Amino acid sequence: MATSNGQTISSLEKLEIELLLEGIYRVSGYDFRNYVLSSIRRRIWHRVQAERLSTITGLQERVFHDRACMCRLIRDFSIQVTEMFRDPEFFKSFRKNVIPLIKDVPLIKLWHAGCSTGEEVYSMAILLLEEGLYDKTRLYATDMNENAIEMAIRGAYPLGKMKTYTSNYLHAGGRQSFSNYYTLCGENAVFDNELRKNIVFAQHNLVSDSSFNEFNVIICRNVLIYFNKELENKVHGLFYNSLGPRGILALGNKETINYTIYNDKYSEIDTEKLFIKR
Structure confidence by residue, pLDDT tens digits, 83-97: 999 999 999 999 999
Q: Give the pLDDT band (50/70/90) at residue 78.
A: confident
- Residue 9: predicted pLDDT: 83
pLDDT tens, position by position, 119-140: 999 999 999 999 999 999 999 9
d(CA 155, CA 36): 31
- Residue 44: predicted pLDDT: 96
- Residue 259: predicted pLDDT: 86
Mean pLDDT, range 90-106, rounded to an integer: 97
State the average pLDDT for the chain.
93
| Residues 6 or more apart whose Cβ sits within 8 Å of residue 125 | 134, 139, 195, 196, 198, 199
Percent of the chain residues topping a pLDDT of 90:
85
Q: Is the pLDDT of residue 8 over 80?
A: no
- Which helix or strand (DSSP H or E) is residue 193 part of? helix 193-196
Cβ atoms of residues 158 and 146 within 8 Å: no
Q: Is the pLDDT of residue 238 over 80?
A: yes
Mean pLDDT, range 18-43, rounded to an integer: 92
**Identity of the amino acid at 54:** S
Q: Is 97 helix (H, G, I), strand (E, B) or coil?
A: helix
CA distances from residue 194 to 64, 67, 124, 181, 191 in whole angstroms, order as listed: 43, 38, 13, 9, 8
pLDDT tens, position by position, 128-176: 999 999 999 999 999 999 889 999 999 999 999 999 999 999 999 999 9
Continuous H helices in 66-174 = 67-77, 88-93, 99-102, 119-130, 146-154, 162-171
- Residue 7: predicted pLDDT: 62
pLDDT tens, position by position, 216-227: 999 999 999 989
- Residue 3: predicted pLDDT: 56
Selection from 220, 208, 198 nearest residue 140 by Cα:
198
The CA-CA-CA angle for residues 225, 97, 80, to 5°, reads 30
CA distances from residue 155 to 51, 145, 151, 188 in whole angstroms, order as listed: 31, 16, 6, 10
DSSP 213-260: S-EEEEEE-SSGGGB-HHHHHHHHHHHHHHEEEEEEEEE-TT--STTS
Strands across the sheet containing 274-277: 199-203, 137-143, 108-113, 215-220, 243-251, 274-277, 266-270
Mean pLDDT, range 33-59, rounded to an integer: 94
Q: Is the pLDDT of residue 2 over 60?
A: no
Mean pLDDT, range 248-257, rounded to an integer: 93
| Residues 6 or more apart whose Cβ sits within 8 Å of residue 157 | 84, 117, 119, 165, 188, 189, 191
d(CA 81, CA 63): 25
- Residue 1: predicted pLDDT: 52
Going 196 to 198 to 204 to 207, the CA torsion angle's sign is negative
Q: Give the pLDDT band (50/70/90) at residue 77.
A: confident
d(CA 255, CA 272): 10
